[in-house]
């Protein structure tokens, strides 16, 4: 897709120098820089989301995965019986 941008002259010159230095086009340099910026923004958003989830976990008195699975297994066994007993009954 073609896009027209107004870029600061010093930034454009620096991009041209980098393009020449690495034997690439300015387009490639700009595309790579924009892609890196977007990836960094997404990573920052992921870190922010993870930090919020961890804060919620701590605030609500979180439960370890091991404890949660143990509790669910015990509730399931209480409701439906032990798996080994069900298999042998059939």
- Under the banding of pLDDT at 50, 70 and 90, the label for residue 89 is low
DSSP string, 6-61: ---HHHHHHHHHHHHHTT--HHHHHHHHHHHHHHHHHHHHHHHHHHHHHHHHHHTT
pLDDT value, residue 7: 94
pLDDT value, residue 88: 55
**Rounded Cα distance, 4 and 2, in Å:** 7
pLDDT value, residue 87: 56
| Structural Rg of the chain based on CA atoms | 28
pTM for the full predicted model: 0.55
pLDDT digits (tens, 9 = 90+) for 34-88: 999 999 999 999 999 999 988 888 888 778 888 889 999 999 999 998 766 555 5
DSSP 18: H
């Amino acid at each position: 897709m073609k896009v027209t941008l107004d870029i600061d002259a010093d930034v454009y010159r620096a991009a041209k120098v980098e393009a020449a230095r690495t034997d690439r086009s300015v387009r490639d340099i700009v595309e790579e820089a924009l892609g890196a910026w977007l990836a960094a923004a997404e990573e920052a958003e992921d870190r922010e989301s993870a930090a919020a989830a961890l804060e919620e976990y701590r605030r609500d008195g979180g439960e370890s995965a091991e404890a949660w699975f143990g509790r669910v297994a015990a509730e399931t066994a209480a409701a439906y019986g032990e798996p080994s007993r069900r298999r042998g009954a059939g």
